[in-house]
Amino acid sequence: MDFSETPRMREIHALAREFLAREVHPLEPRLLHEGFGAVEPLLAERRVRAKQTGLFSAHMPEEYGGGGLSLLELAGLGEELGRSPVGHYVFNLQAPDAGNMELLLAHGSAEQRERFLRPLVAGEIRSCFTMSEPELAGSNPTRIATVATRDGAAWVIRGHKWFASSADGAAFAICMAATAPEETDPHRRASLLIVPTDTPGFELVGNLSVMGHRGSGWASHGEVAYHGARVPRENLLGEEGDGFRLAQERLGPGRIHHCMRWIGICERALDLLCRRAVERELAPGRPLAAQQMVQQWVAESRAEIHGARLMVLHAAWRIEREGAAAAREEIALIKFTVARTLQRVLDRALQTHGALGMTDDTPLAWWWAHERAARIYDGADEVHIESVARRILRGYGLAAR
C-alpha cells in the first residue's frame, strides 16, 4: 500500500489551500455571525472561480464536466476543503449532492443523467436525499413507512421524511420509498425515485432547528412530506427493489468524503488550538502552551488525527481496488473512529480557547454544533461498532443472527 503524495496530489493540495486562503476564509466571519444566506451570493461568485481550477465536482469524470480525480486523490482534496465550513460547497463537492452525483452516474439512465446529473455536476442546481423518517428508527434503514405505488405510468408517493439535508432550494430529491412493502426480504422492499421538487404533492414543510440553527439554502436540514406526489415510472433510479443496496453503495465513497472532511476540520481546530495556546498568557511570560495538560492535548490530537487519516486512506485504497462491498469493515471502522476523533479534537480546541471558543469569532462553536451529528448520520456509531465486532467474532465461532 502506497499512500505517499504524488506530484499531482501535492499540486491539488496547494491549489485548494491557496484558493481557500484567498477566496473563502475571508468570508467565514460573516458566515458565522450572519448565517449562510448572508454569504450565499458571494459564495456563488467563488464557485464560478473554483471552476477555473479544474477541481470543481472533482469526483466526477471529465466527460461530465468533473475533475476526474481518483478516490485517493479526492480524499486529499477533501481534507484541504474540510478546513473551511463551506470549502466543499465552493467546489461543488458538498453532501448530499456529491453522493447523488455518484448514484446517478452509476445507476441513472441516459435520460436521467442528461436531465439531472449534468446540471448537478455543473453546479447549476442542487439536490437532496430523503430517507430518514421521524416515526421510525434511522438505525434500521430497512424499515421505511413512505410508500410508492404504481398508478398507470406513474409512481404515487406518500410519506413523511426529515433531515433531508439541503432540501431548501433543491431542484430534485432522491426518495427512498417502499415499492414492495409486503416483500419478505426487508432488503428488497424499497426503491429509489427521483422527484423534482416542483412536483405537486412534494412539500418542504420547513427547515428543522438543529442545535439552535434553522439554517437556509444548502446549509439546512429539511422536513419533507409527500402528499401523493406523482412521478413518471422512468424516474425509478436503478432497479425496483434495489433502494437499500444503492443507498448502502452510496455510503461507501460517501464516508471517505465525510471522514476526510472531518480530518480537515480536526487539522484546522488543532492549528487554532496551538495558536491560541502560544498567544494566550495566564500571566506575563507564562503562555497556555507551557501547561502540561495543553501539551498533552496537542500531542494526543496530532497522534489521533494522523492515525485516523491513515485508516481513511487505507479504506479508500481498498475501495478503489476491490469495491465498497469488500471494504465494508474498513468503511465501518473509519466512520466511528474519525467521528470520535473529531469530537475529541474539537473539545480540546474549545477548552483551550475558553470563553472565546463559545463565541462565533472562530469556527469552533459552529463545528461543534453542526458536526456532533457525525456520530449519528450515515448510521449511529453504535451500529457500526456492533457490526464490526460481530464480523470479527464470527471468525471465532459466534453464530450469525
Q: Is the pLDDT confidence value at 2 over 70?
A: no
Does 120 map to a domain? no
300-312 as b/e, with b when 16 or more CB fall inside 10 Å?
ebeebbeebbebb
Domain that holds residue 207: 127-240
Q: How far apart are CA 23 and CA 287, in angstroms?
A: 32
Please check whether residue 330 lies inside any domain of the structure: yes
- Say yes or no: 80 and 166 in one domain: no
Verify that 282 and 352 share a domain, yes or no.
yes
**Is the predicted pLDDT of residue 139 greater than 80, yes or no?**
no
Instruction: Tell me what pLDDT residue 401 has.
Output: 63
363, 340 in Cβ contact below 8 A? no
User: What's the length of the chain?
Assistant: 401
pLDDT at residue number 323? 87
User: Do 60 and 101 contact (CB within 8 A), yes or no?
Assistant: yes
Give the residue-averaged pLDDT of 217-236: 98
Q: What is the CATH number of the domain that holds 251?
A: 1.20.140.10
Handedness of CA 259, 311, 273, 43 (dihedral sign): negative
Do 90 and 152 have their domain in common? no
Tell me how far apart the alpha carbons of residues 50 and 90 are, in angstroms, rounded to a whole number. Answer: 7
The residues with which 130 forms a beta bridge, in sequence order, are 175
**At 399, is the pLDDT very low, low, confident or very high (cuts 50, 70, 90)?**
confident
pLDDT surpassing 70 at residue 307: yes
pLDDT band at 247 (very low <50, low <70, confident <90, very high): confident
Each residue's pLDDT tens digit, 356-367: 999 999 999 999
Residue 103 lies in a domain: no
Has residue 230 got a pLDDT over 70? yes
Q: What is the pLDDT of residue 1?
A: 63
Name which of 104, 103, 121, 105 is nearest 66 in CA terms: 121
The pLDDT, as a whole number, for residue 336 is 94
252 with 385, same domain: the answer is: yes
223 & 285 share domain: no
Verify that 205 and 274 share a domain, yes or no.
Answer: no
**DSSP assignment letter at 287:** E
Give the residue among 130, 142, 143, 136 at the shortest CA–CA distance from 172. 130
Do 208 and 281 reside in the same domain of the chain? no
Reported as a single tens digit per residue, the pLDDT across 269-292 is 999 999 999 999 999 999 999 999
Q: Which is nearest to 240 in space by CA: 194, 173, 192, 196?
A: 192
DSSP secondary-structure letter at 237? E
**293 pLDDT higher than 70:** yes
- Assess whether 57 and 149 both reside in one domain: no
Does the structure show a pLDDT above 80 at 400?
no
**More reliable by pLDDT, 147 or 252:** 147
User: How far apart (Å, rounded) are the C-alpha atoms in residues 120 and 94?
Assistant: 11
Q: Is the pLDDT of residue 4 over 70?
A: no
Q: Would you place residue 3 in the very low, low, confident or very high pLDDT band (cuts 50, 70, 90)?
A: low
| Section 226-253 average pLDDT | 92
Query: Which distant-in-sequence residues (6+ apart) come within 8 Å of 252 by Cβ?
Result: 319, 324, 327, 331
- What CATH number is given to the structural domain containing 75? 1.10.540.10
What are the tens digits of pLDDT across the range 54-71?
Answer: 999 999 999 999 999 999
Residues 6+ apart with CB under 8 A from 342: 262, 263, 265, 266, 371, 374
**pLDDT tens digit string along 328-347?**
899 999 999 999 999 999 99
Nearest to 220 by CA among 82, 84, 94: 94
User: 321 and 385 share a domain?
Assistant: yes
Judge if 218 and 144 occupy the same domain.
yes
Cell of 56: 470543481
The verdict on residue 119 lying in a domain is no
Query: Residue 160 sits in a domain of what CATH number?
Result: 2.40.110.10
Residue 169 has pLDDT above 90, yes or no: yes
Does residue 136 register a pLDDT over 70? yes
CA pair distance 131, 148, nearest whole angstrom:
13
Q: Domain ends where: 214, 240, 266?
A: 240
Same structural domain, 231 and 258: no
Q: Which of these three, 216, 240, 264, is where a domain ends?
A: 240
* 84 domain residue, yes or no: yes
176: CB partners within 8 A, 6+ apart: 130, 131, 141, 144, 146, 190, 191, 192, 243, 244, 247
pLDDT, tens digit (0-9, with 9 covering 90-100), for 91-118? 999 999 999 999 999 999 999 999 999 9
Q: Does a structural domain hold residue 28?
A: yes
Q: Is residue 373 over pLDDT 70?
A: yes
Pick the closest to residue 168 from 208, 115, 201 (CA basis).
208
Residue indicated by cell numbers 503562555:
287
Asked if residue 400 is part of any domain, the answer here is no
Asked whether residue 254 falls in the same domain as residue 373, the answer is: yes
Q: Is the pLDDT of residue 72 over 70?
A: yes
**Final residue of a domain: which of 189, 206, 240?**
240
Res 130 pLDDT > 80: yes
CB-based contacts of 295: which residues, under 8 Å, 6+ apart? 289
With CA atoms as reference, report the closest residue to 265 among 341, 317, 337.
341
How many domains are contained in the chain?
3
Query: Is 333 among the domain residues?
Result: yes
Cβ pair 234, 358 in contact under 8 A? no
% of the chain exceeding 90 in pLDDT? 85
Q: Hey, what's the torsion of the CAs at 306, 312, 318, 320, to 10 degrees?
A: -120
